[in-house]
Structure 1
Amino acid sequence: MLRQVLSLALPAAAALMLAACGQEAAAPAAPRPALVVQPHAAAAVADSYPGEVRARLEPALAFRIGGKVSKRLVEEGQRVKADQPLAELDPQDVRLQLEASRAQLAAAQANLSLVRTERDRYLKLRDRQMVSHSQYDNAENLYRAGLARLKQAKAEYDVAGNQAQYAVLRAPQAGVIAQRQVEVGQVVAAGQTVFTLAADGEREVAIALPEQQFAGFAVGQPVSVELWSRPGERYPGRIRELSPSADPRSRTFAARIAFSSAKVPAELGQSARVFVAHEGVTALAVPLSAVTAQNGQAYVWRVNQDSRLERAVVRLGAYGSESVPVLEGLGPNDWVVAAGGHVLREGQEIRPVDRTNRLVNLTAKE
């Protein structure tokens, strides 16, 4: 009997122990601790845009007549002086036109001499009443026509002379050849750009502004510029020019930034960064480790009064070395998780602690 009782009791006891273990495993886990902080006031709020140092005047140079390029006298990046020859067209056609105009001018001069002599002769005969007035009027009209033909021939000769000079493209002012778009043997049309000249003088920074932020900029707005060759040094400037239309490829608006001082050590082609401050915006800042992004959208984990997490989408400013300004999405009394956001989930309950591992009262201001 004892053996039968034991054989029945042992399985029952084992079943009770397993049931107790299952109940203990199903018990809810305690909220995990999470370091939380409140946003603090950002020291400086400004958006930054990369740019390139350019010349304020960048004329596109082109021949005023069409033809075949016979000589290219400069290279890209070469410094040129005012009136320096840059390229030449094949002069054969313009020389022939000049010779034809010269011949027409000589013919017009000879014709004028002839009709002038005829008019003077008819004038004497009319005074002697040896010819009629109509015959003299005809001679006078021929003289006037010859005079007009001579003026026309002179104008055409001057045009042909100018075109002969237009076969040589010269620099309108001193500067640097920024772009070259022509090769020897190439046939170009009148007005087709062959060189871009970066004229000596003022230097500017060319930047591209995003479409969604373009409305917040205006001509004359103050900015600051930092050259990559001189990190940490910022030079005051202003927005001098804003493009009225977006680039069809990048969908950005071109802008030109002028330096307030002419003594800025900016050279052509240097990289720069333009900082545009937000006027009237009091931004908050959070640690870089508090920001997480998904599908290009930045967010932080905000802790509500029940110690549960909720995702707060934010708009950020320029990233700093340790923190980032939050322009929209957070209030000064909010609490956010300072680190480890990639392992958290919406609605998760946490135990908020500070940097000394003390429990944080979420209803009190920091």
Structure 2
Amino acid sequence: MSACYLKHIASSASGPGKTLRKIGTLLLLAGTLTTGCGDSEEEREVVADTAELRPLRLQTLHPTIREVSETITGTGTIGAAQTSNLGVVTPGIVERVFVKVGDRVKKDQPLFQTRKSDFEISVRLARAELAAAASRAEQARLDHERALELLAKDFISQAQLDTAVNAKKAAAAERRVADARLAQAEQRLVDTVVRAPYDGVITERNIDEGTYKSAQTFSADSAVLQIQEIKVVVAAVRVPEIYLGALSRGTPADLSIDGLQDTLRSEIFVINDKADPTSRSLDVRFALANYDYRIKPGLFVQAEIHLPERLAMLLNHEAVLDRQNSPHVFLAKDGFAQRRDIVLNDFDATGVEVVAGLNDEDFVLIGPDLSRLVDGTPLPEDINADR
């Protein structure tokens, strides 16, 4: 290295505010270079290296502790308070359907009926059987009374009286069976008319009159009608499972529903005890009054759930390095930079929440030269956080 070049470097290190560390570094560089005043490529590289000797542009700050309110967003679907797929109770030909899709019905209102004639015949037959059984029971009662009188006069044996007693019991049992069969036949006749189980709206009609239906209904497609109760509807919304600890019954939310202009306020009334292992989400539910039936089951809903205020440690995001893979900061400690790994929770555009790794008394380094730091980098005296 030439004397003129060494003189140039030495003069750059002798100005006011330069530290002994820089002078020592210059001398070390001078000892490794050759002499000469030429403008060689090697000398230009050395000049570039000396840029690293400029003062570190850094300052310190403390993490901030304050109350924060957080809003999480979930999406889901509007559902009915109740949904019932109604099939025939008594098998037969569907003779009448009294309603159509969109009709609003009251509890116990007739919806459809199967043909009654077969069941009316069954009722008449059951009544006749009951009358016959009643006559036999009455005859058995009279026979028992005569047997008691005859036994008192020694005209019959005890065995004959026992036979009369048993005949009376059997006839009474037969009468009760016939009575039950009549009640069953009458109920089947009543069940030919299917009625609304609650106030609701007809949302599906799957068959027309004249279709034969068995009493077995395994799915909505095999039902005659579908009725839904929608005076109150349910918004079933999925949110990330990481918020489980922050959610509770009564947590407020603003709901936006496709097709409706206004935002509806509600609160969580159910947190499903089962999480979805595929989407890693929870099902939370909100009830909405719907007396005008304007909210339709199946609509898309978005919920902004307002979590309770809590204390959080916030830090300027510019102080955090490698946020995506291995988030860490540098602290000012005893005149040196000390690397500290941290756990983050993204909060907003300007700051991040530090979940673990710092306390509010730490001196966190920030500034344009933060990326130049490694663990143990000496810091300028004016950044010494311990003085």
CA contact 2:81–2:234 (8 Å) conserved in 1: no
Report what 1:10 is aligned to: none
Structure 1, 325-334 or 154-163: larger mean CA deviation: 325-334
Structure 1: gaps (5+ residues): 1-12, 353-359
Report what 1:243 is aligned to: 272
Report what 1:200 is aligned to: 231
CA contact 1:41–1:285 (8 Å) conserved in 2: no
**SS of structure 2 residue aligned to 1:148:** helix
Deviations 1:95-129 (A, max 9, x none): 64664464244123224324524653675587576
CA contact 2:73–2:302 (8 Å) conserved in 1: no
Name the TM-score, length of structure 2 as normaliser: 0.58
Report what 1:48 is aligned to: 72
CA gap 1:62/1:252 in 2 versus in 1, 3 angstroms: farther
Report what 2:285 is aligned to: 256
CA gap 1:283/1:23 in 2 versus in 1, 3 angstroms: closer
Report what 1:282 is aligned to: 312
Whichever residue aligns with residue 161 of structure 1, its letter is E
Matches within 5 A, 1:147-166: 147-166=172-191
Q: Provide the C-alpha distance between the structure 1 equivalents of 2:277 and 2:215, rounded to a whole number of angstroms.
A: 26
Deviations 1:218-241 (A, max 9, x none): 5x4x4222133699988574x433
Q: 1:328 deviation in Å?
A: 0.9
Q: Provide the C-alpha distance between the structure 2 equivalents of 1:288 and 1:198, rounded to a whole number of angstroms.
A: 54
Report what 1:84 is aligned to: 109
Q: Provide the C-alpha distance between the structure 2 equivalents of 1:256 and 1:117, rounded to a whole number of angstroms.
A: 66
Q: Provide the C-alpha distance between the structure 2 equivalents of 1:313 and 1:72, rounded to a whole number of angstroms.
A: 64
Q: Provide the C-alpha distance between the structure 1 equivalents of 2:341 and 2:139, rounded to a whole number of angstroms.
A: 103
CA gap 1:338/1:253 in 2 versus in 1, 3 angstroms: farther
Whichever residue aligns with residue 200 of structure 1, its letter is K
CA gap 1:78/1:36 in 2 versus in 1, 3 angstroms: farther
Structure 1, 117-126 or 207-216: larger mean CA deviation: 117-126
Structure 2: gaps (5+ residues): 1-35
Structure 1, 65-74 or 104-113: larger mean CA deviation: 65-74
Matches within 5 A, 1:117-266: 117=139, 119-120=141-142, 123=145, 127=149, 132=156, 134-135=159-160, 138-139=163-164, 141-176=166-201, 183-184=206-207, 189=216, 195=226, 197-201=228-232, 205-208=235-238, 210-218=240-248, 220=249, 222-228=250-256, 235=265, 237=267, 239-247=268-276, 249-257=278-286
CA gap 1:210/1:156 in 2 versus in 1, 3 angstroms: farther
- What CA RMSD, in Å, does the superposition of the two structures yield over aligned residues? 5.5
**SS of structure 2 residue aligned to 1:246:** coil
Q: Provide the C-alpha distance between the structure 2 equivalents of 1:348 and 1:68, rounded to a whole number of angstroms.
A: 85
Larger Rg: 2
Provide the aligned length of Structure 1 versus Structure 2: 325
Whichever residue aligns with residue 145 of structure 1, its letter is A
Report what 1:363 is aligned to: 385
Name the TM-score, length of structure 1 as normaliser: 0.60
CA gap 1:228/1:141 in 2 versus in 1, 3 angstroms: same
Q: 1:149 deviation in Å?
A: 1.9
**SS of structure 2 residue aligned to 1:83:** coil
